[in-house]
Amino acid sequence: MRIAAIASGAAALLTMGAAAAVPNGANLWNGARAGMTIDQVDAVVAQASPATAQMLEDGSQSGLSAPAELASAPAEAIFFFRNKALSAVLVERHAMASGHGPENLAEAKRIVALATSQYGPPRSCITRGELAALNCVWTAGSIKVAVSYHDFGGGSPALSVLYRLAR
- 120: buried, middle or exposed (CB in 10 Å: 19+, 13-18, 0-12)? exposed
Domain assignment present for residue 119? The answer is yes
Which tens digits make up the pLDDT trace of 61-72?
Answer: 999 999 999 988
pLDDT of 90 strictly over 90 = yes
Mean per-residue pLDDT for 145-155? 84
**How many structural domains compose the chain?**
1
Domain assignment present for residue 4? The answer is no
Where residue 9 falls among pLDDT bands split at 50, 70, 90?
very low
Listed in sequence order, the residues at least 6 apart from 106 whose beta carbon sits closer than 8 Å to its beta carbon are none
Domain assignment present for residue 113? The answer is yes
Domain assignment present for residue 100? The answer is yes
Mean per-residue pLDDT for 68-97? 92
Count the Cβ atoms, other than its own, within 10 Å of residue 133.
Answer: 17
pLDDT of 21 strictly over 90 = no
Domain assignment present for residue 3? The answer is no
Q: Residue 134 belongs to what domain range?
A: 25-165
CA torsion through residues 151, 157, 163, 165, sign:
negative
pLDDT for the residue numbered 99: 80
pLDDT of 140 strictly over 80 = yes
pLDDT of 11 strictly over 80 = no
Average pLDDT over the chain reads 84
Domain assignment present for residue 45? The answer is yes
Domain assignment present for residue 15? The answer is no
* H helices, E strands: number in the chain: 3, 10
pLDDT for the residue numbered 17: 41
92 versus 23: the higher-pLDDT residue is 92
Domain assignment present for residue 149? The answer is yes
